[in-house]
Amino acid sequence: MPFARKRPKDINAGDRRFLMGMRLSGIAVLLLLLSLLFYLYRLAAPALERFGVWNFLRGRDWNAVEEIYGALPFLYGTLLSSLLALFFAVPISIGVALFLNDIAPRRLATLLGFLVEMLAAIPSVVYGLWGLFVFVPFMRQYIQPPLLQYFDFLPLFEGAPYGVGLLTASFILAVMIIPTITAISREIFRTVPAVQREGALALGATRWEALRLAVLKPSTIGLFAAGVLGLGRAMGETMAVTMVIGNRPDISTSLLAPAHSMASVLANEYAEATSDLHMSALAGIGLALFLLSFVVNASARLVIWRVGRAWK
Amino acid sequence: MKKFLAICTLASASAMAAPTLINGAGATFPFPLYSKWFSEYAKVKPGVQVNYNSIGSGGGIRQLLDNTVHFGASDAPMTSEEESKSTVKVLHVPTVMGSVVVTYNLPGVTKALRLSPDTVAGIFLGKIAKWDDAKIAAENPGVALPKTAILVATRSDGSGTTAIFTDYLAKVSPEWKSKVGAGKSVKWPVGLSGKGNEGVTGLVKQTPGAVGYVELIYALSNKLPVAEIKNVAGNYVMPSIESTTAAAQGVQIPEDFKVSITNASGKKAYSIAAFTYLLVYEKMKDPAVTAELVALMKWALTDGQKFAKDLGYAPLPAALAKRALGAVAKVKAEASANVAR
């Protein structure tokens, strides 16, 4: 009898403890984020005070010897390489996702889907080494010379065929974000009710028309969000980019010119930044990257959330 | 009997279980040698275990100042700003010498290129942009130089190698000194940058027409062609262990060993050479660690020197090693010392 009396009480206590634990975990994430932001800001404060936030962000000079630090070349490199990567990756990813979801036989779809996910599992330094030793020579020999030869009237293709550079980095990034965008696009296509496709086909639409009107069109906003999440991943990518982008803090209109990125400069200079101001300027770049990724990811989540609600 | 043996093993195991731990961090440049040293030393003295993190000279200095390691290691001497952050004097103990080489990729050119300081500075300033430039051609008669553009490859990460190389360029070229300066990371006037020695090696190896700078050991082990550099005496000198040693001989080395030996005046001296240092506090807190660290440094400056050559570093000249030993003997443990755990 005492046993029976004790049990419900215990369960209640357990429930309470469980609830408490879960709440603590939730709060911990929030605290982690805030403390990260706080410490980054505290570390970056000397540089931001010295140059002013606005001047730091738009400064084009990065010179550790003269202690002048401006973040613009890195902002430019990160944004442009990521957006270009997105430009290459989105059509391919949507194509793959549509193929896997609507066209491929189920067995092939399972296999292909698995392979695409495997791409995401490859460590980024492996992409970087492959880029440096295989892809860069390929770009230098077969891609960049014809671009320079036939499109030299465009300011986009100027200079020498170095192999490394912004365009090369964008290609590598595109390969790296394809799995992310494909996976999310597939999820979005799955939310389209089968009745809708069948309805379109029943009304006499061809397969292309059915996919376009019944699947792609209602998915537009979701696909946008998938792209933005891919963008977030591309912006934070470090090792692969730093090995192929050329690491030159310059702003050039040419896509073949070497450039730099925010994540690369952190990886490159953090270990040997002896002066306090150098360290602080690097923290400032870290803070800017943090906020940029945060905004990009948050906006994507917001869009996905709204789409999900609209479907319900 | 079996029981007795078991007890013996247990007893000796517990005696072995508490080795003295020495923690260090710093330069990547001498890391291959240091890791060899510390593993060899563990054989000589099984009770001592050295952990060395090759996180870069800057990181080593910072960790020493934060008291998270017992010793630091750096390719460049500490600046007065850095030294002012410590209340206790930091000793610079030179361990070996290394050199930085100019390497290039010129298909068809088999003879080693000869470069004067002016030409090297001109190339890295971007003023000499083609391989068949008159300046290069004048120094290399008989060499069929290609008409291609020079692609300059540099280090993108902050590095002691860069510090040594730019220290040299700032000494030989007033224009370099005013336009770029010297440091672990500088704003390069031209070219591409790769991360680490492997990044620069990759760029140079794959790009016909490229030129870059790496540590001697990297050029040796990757069989890269290296340039002969014209020294102060007017001789073109191939980088090697002998010519690196020669660089230290023409230089007056001060009491605290903080000296740059680039652009040395010796006849056979290679111009782009440098000491690498261990950084230790003169007064340390833990007597056991202090004694072991002093013993370790003494070993490195004597028996340890023989491992240097195989790994591409030049051993210290005997007289200098003796002076360094004298400096090491000054390191004392003091209960009141507020540093180094």
Residue of A nearest to B58 (CA): A272
pLDDT digits (tens, 9 = 90+) for B234-257: 999 999 999 999 998 878 889 889
What are the angstrom distances between the C-alpha of B339 and each of B65, B66, B71, B82, B313? 9, 9, 11, 16, 32
DSSP B303: G
Q: A42 falls in which pLDDT band (50, 70, 90)?
A: very high
B56 at A interface, C-beta within 8 A: yes
B195: which chain A residues are within 8 Å (Cβ-Cβ)?
242-243, 247, 264, 267-268
What are the angstrom distances between the C-alpha of B77 and each of A276, B73, B90, B330? 17, 9, 10, 19
Comparing CA positions, the residue from A65, A201, A276 lying closest to residue B183 is: A65
pLDDT of residue B8: 47
pLDDT of residue B203: 87
Check pLDDT > 50 for residue B12: no
Q: B2 falls in which pLDDT band (50, 70, 90)?
A: low
Amino acid at A229: L
Mean of pLDDT over chain A: 88
pLDDT of residue A26: 93
Q: Are B232 and B264 in contact (CB under 8 A)?
A: yes
Which DSSP helix (H) or strand (E) runs through B73? Answer: strand B71-74
DSSP B338: -
Contact residues, A window 106-135, toward B, CB-based 8 Å cutoff: 132-133
Check pLDDT > 50 for residue B121: yes
DSSP B76: S
Q: Which residue has the higher pLDDT, B51 or A11?
A: B51
Interacting residues of A197 by C-beta distance below 8 A, sequence separation 6+:
A102, A210, A211, A214, A215
Q: Kindly state the average pLDDT of the residues A260-266.
A: 93
Query: How many CB contacts within 8 angstroms connect chain A with chain B?
Result: 96
pLDDT digits (tens, 9 = 90+) for A176-215: 999 999 999 998 898 888 898 889 999 998 989 999 988 9
Nearest to A65 among B181, B192, B194 (CB): B181
Check pLDDT > 80 for residue B231: yes
Check pLDDT > 60 for residue A58: yes
Interface mutation target, options A141, A274, A276, A277, chain B, most CBs of B under 10 Å: A274
Check pLDDT > 90 for residue B311: no
pLDDT digits (tens, 9 = 90+) for A236-248: 998 899 989 989 8
ipTM score for this prediction: 0.73
Q: B340 falls in which pLDDT band (50, 70, 90)?
A: very low
Interface mutation target, options A264, A268, A272, chain B, most CBs of B under 10 Å: A272
The CB-based long-range contact list for A61-65 (8 Å cut-off, 24+ gap) reads A61/B187, A62/A249, A62/A265, A62/B187, A63/B186, A63/B187, A64/A269, A64/A273, A64/A275, A64/A278, A64/B158, A64/B183, A64/B184, A64/B185, A64/B186, A64/B187, A65/B180, A65/B181, A65/B182, A65/B183, A65/B186, A65/B187
Q: Kindly state the average pLDDT of the residues A143-151.
A: 87
Check pLDDT > 50 for residue A157: yes
Coil, strand or helix at A240: helix
pLDDT of residue A6: 52
* H-type alpha helices, chain B: 2-16, 31-44, 57-65, 80-83, 117-125, 134-139, 160-172, 174-179, 196-206, 216-222, 241-249, 287-301, 318-328
pLDDT of residue B99: 92
Q: Which residue has the higher pLDDT, A300 or A277?
A: A277
Length, in residues, of chain B: 341
A65: which chain B residues are within 8 Å (Cβ-Cβ)?
180-183, 186-187
The Cα angle at residue B39 between residues B34 and B42, in degrees rounded to 5: 125
Q: How far apart are CA B207 and CA B75, in angstroms?
A: 29
pLDDT of residue B18: 67
pLDDT of residue A69: 93
Q: Which residue has the higher pLDDT, B338 or B258?
A: B258
B249 at A interface, C-beta within 8 A: no
A162: which chain B residues are within 8 Å (Cβ-Cβ)?
151, 192, 207
Q: B206 falls in which pLDDT band (50, 70, 90)?
A: confident
B185 to A269: CB separation less than 8 angstroms, yes or no = yes
DSSP state letters, B28-60: STTHHHHHHHHHHHHHH-TTEEEEEE---HHHH
DSSP state letters, A253-311: S-TTS-B--HHHHHHHHGGG--SHHHHHHHHHHHHHHHHHHHHHHHHHHHHHHHHHHHH
Q: A161 falls in which pLDDT band (50, 70, 90)?
A: confident
Nearest to B187 among A65, A163, A267 (CB): A65
Q: Measure A301 CA to nearest chain B CA, in Å.
A: 35
Q: How far apart are CA B265 and CA B246, in angstroms?
A: 9
Q: How far apart are CA A10 and CA A16, in angstroms?
A: 10
pLDDT digits (tens, 9 = 90+) for B149-187: 899 999 988 888 899 999 999 999 999 999 999 988 899
**Going by DSSP bridges, is the β-strand pair B20-26/B48-53 parallel, antiparallel, or unpaired?**
parallel
Check pLDDT > 50 for residue A1: no
* H-type alpha helices, B84-129: 117-125
Q: How far apart are CA A266 and CA A40, in angstroms?
A: 13
